[in-house]
Amino acid sequence: MIVQEILARKGSNVVRTIEPERTVEEAVAQLVEHNIGSLVVVEGGRPAGIVTERDILRCCANGLGKSADTRVAEIMTSDLIVGEAADSVDYVMGIMTKNRIRHLPILNREQELLGMVSIGDVVQSQLQETKYENRHLRQYISGSY
């Protein structure tokens, strides 16, 4: 299975974004409104980073004064880890596990944002594939093919 199949199954590939000059308060409002855990930071139409719940917690814990007024650019993760639609689910799971991330922006070859996959999306796809495989193995073993 590849990431493109996950994106197709999700249906809507709307990725919530925010500009780096926006405030942490605005980022929090979007996260809460859309019930999501991260926003892709976009500058000039291209992904420049990601801001996650974890980044916001660090900002608050580090006492950056009025964290609500802090700019997203000051707290975002700018070393963006991304995937491609043609990546295998196993590869993406490995990348997410190794880097301890829960959200992976998916870009095309032109570095444009196609969608976002979460660790939950990846686990769900693996579970479905395992169920499918188990069903066929049971049918094969029982001779119902």
Give the pLDDT confidence of 67-120 residue by residue, as tens digits.
Answer: 778 999 999 999 999 999 999 999 999 999 999 999 999 999 888 899 999 999
C-alpha 57: how far from chain center: 18
The span from the first CA to the last CA of the chain, in angstroms, equals 23
- CA atoms of 4 and 117, how far apart (whole Å): 10
CATH number of 3-142: 3.10.580.10
Please say whether the beta carbons of 1 and 89 come within 8 A.
yes
b/e sequence 87-117, b meaning 16+ C-beta within 10 Å: bebeebbebbeeeebebbbbbeeeeebbbbb
- The pTM assigned to this predicted structure is 0.82
State pLDDT tens for residues 5-34. Answer: 999 988 777 899 999 999 999 999 999 999
User: Residue ranges per domain, the chain?
Assistant: 3-142
